[in-house]
Amino acid sequence: MLQPRTHKEVHFTRLPFSLRSLLDSWHYDPENNVRLARGIDGREIILVRQPMGLEQYEIDGRPDGRRVHAMESVFDFHRARFDAAKQSNAADAFDLSAEDCVELFHEGISYHHRLILLFRLKDWTRVERDGAHILRLIEFIKQHARCEEDRVQLHQWRPNIARINAVAQAMILLEKCHYQDALELACGTIGISETVADNGPDRGNLAEALIESVRESVANPPTLRMHEESLFLRHDDYWMIRYHGHAAFLKSMRGLCCLAVLLRNPGREFHVSELVASLREAPISTSEVPARGRLRGLEDQLVAAGFSDAGPVLDAKAKAQYKRRLNDLRQDLSEAEKFSDLGRAVKAQDEMHAIARHLASAVGLGGRDRRSGSEAERARSAVTKCIKNAIQKIGDTIPSLGYHLAARIKTGYFCSYNPHRDRPVAWKF
């Protein structure tokens, strides 16, 4: 998890008093651990008392006080890059690499930490300033990130930050005695009930209602664990899924079994018949079997789901896909042998043998199809539907993983999982 800098990492502004005397006189209290201070140069800074020391934040500019790429912030640097690209008529070619996004993620987190501190200090003008900065940063990444996963990585923060920002705007209006404007913002944008105005204008009641509306967001800031190990683990009738620090328990469904096969084998293409076969081998939860058919066995369940057990069948489109895949595998095998890459060569040979077995079972003497091509189409349709339903379920609980799978899972007669080379995921099964 990315954290704000600890006292060991902070280069403190020279304070007009002893750091030791400050620590001795300011005992740690989680309810009262933020205050403003001034350095010898008179500049205001934010100090945060932690159990073992202090954290320091600049009140203006970048929270850590550093200049990056000779500019005030990483965000300013990349906006300047984009402006230069526009002036050169090269805006369409501008994008943010994975490394650029990591820099922006770190900076966005530091601004968000300061946003919460400023909220606790009730510095509403600066809360609104930092909130607007983070919202612009999120939108910038969404528009320009090269990887789909990066575009949505911070987007999950947007609703809470927008709400905190709106509360700060309403509090500024209250400080200026613009009660009615603050009330309209509270009711219209923030969604606070109009009952706060039932007893006539009351600045105190409205301010209390505004702060209460974001209490949970302020107390539980979002985290970002991009490099944490991800889980796709089955426990009886449930799947435990974890991705970037977010977890979900989902009831077993066939689409999750298909996804598990694909995630275990990134980059490999599976014909739908192979996924059907994997479902035959996977344990099926009792919740997936209709009450009247629980004794019929897995084979009948697959038929009922649209997976005919008449055998693998290839239509013209499937045959063409197989042919292209075999050509690709032959090239992979040739390159692997050229560079003495034994692992890659074995993987290519295994897949070529699997395709050969599948073709032998699907094509009779003289190259005639053994079965009707409509069965392969039904299998393709059913597998695609199951996978997409599973991705939708995952996206309902872990939106960032839903976006990742929607972008990286390919369905059709051949299905595969193709993570971006800059954003590999270490899955544990």
CA distance 115 to 49: 17
Give me the pLDDT at residue 38, please: 85
Give me the pLDDT at residue 281, please: 65
Q: Is the pLDDT of residue 14 over 90?
A: no
* Termini Cα distance of the chain: 22
Give me the pLDDT at residue 303, please: 46
pLDDT band of 354, cuts 50, 70, 90: confident
CA distance 407 to 99: 20
pLDDT band of 313, cuts 50, 70, 90: low
Q: Is the pLDDT of residue 60 over 50?
A: yes
Tens of pLDDT along 229-248?
Answer: 899 999 988 999 999 888 99
Tens of pLDDT along 40-54?
Answer: 788 899 999 999 888
The alpha-carbon radius of gyration of the chain (Å, integer) is: 29
The answer to whether 57 touches 117, Cβ cutoff 8 Å, is yes
CA distance 314 to 358: 9
* H helix or E strand, kind and range, residue 415: strand 414-417
Q: Is the pLDDT of residue 118 over 80?
A: yes
Nearest to 205 by CA among 229, 231, 174, 239: 174
Tens of pLDDT along 247-306?
Answer: 999 999 999 999 999 999 999 999 888 888 887 766 655 554 443 343 344 344 444 444
Give me the pLDDT at residue 127, please: 97
Give me the pLDDT at residue 424, please: 86
Give me the pLDDT at residue 193, please: 74
Q: Is the pLDDT of residue 37 over 70?
A: yes
Q: How far is CA 245 from the centre of its chain?
A: 9
Q: Is the pLDDT of residue 318 over 60?
A: yes
Q: Is the pLDDT of residue 119 over 90?
A: yes
What's the burial of 270, exposed, middle or buried (CB within 10 Å: 0-12/13-18/19+)?
buried
Beta-sheet pairing, 230-235 with 427-428: parallel
What's the burial of 315, exposed, middle or buried (CB within 10 Å: 0-12/13-18/19+)?
middle
Give me the pLDDT at residue 350, please: 80
CA distance 205 to 174: 11
Q: Is the pLDDT of residue 311 over 90?
A: no
CA distance 101 to 74: 10
Q: Is the pLDDT of residue 145 over 90?
A: yes
Q: Is the pLDDT of residue 418 over 80?
A: yes
In sequence order, what are the residues at sequence separation of 6 or more whose Cβ sits closer than 8 angstroms to the Cβ of residue 257? 278, 279, 282
In sequence order, what are the residues at sequence separation of 6 or more whose Cβ sits closer than 8 angstroms to the Cβ of residue 131? 115, 161, 162, 164, 165, 168
Where is pLDDT greater, at 224 or 249? 249
CA distance 116 to 314: 59
Tens of pLDDT along 151-194?
Answer: 888 887 899 999 999 999 999 999 999 999 999 998 888 888 76
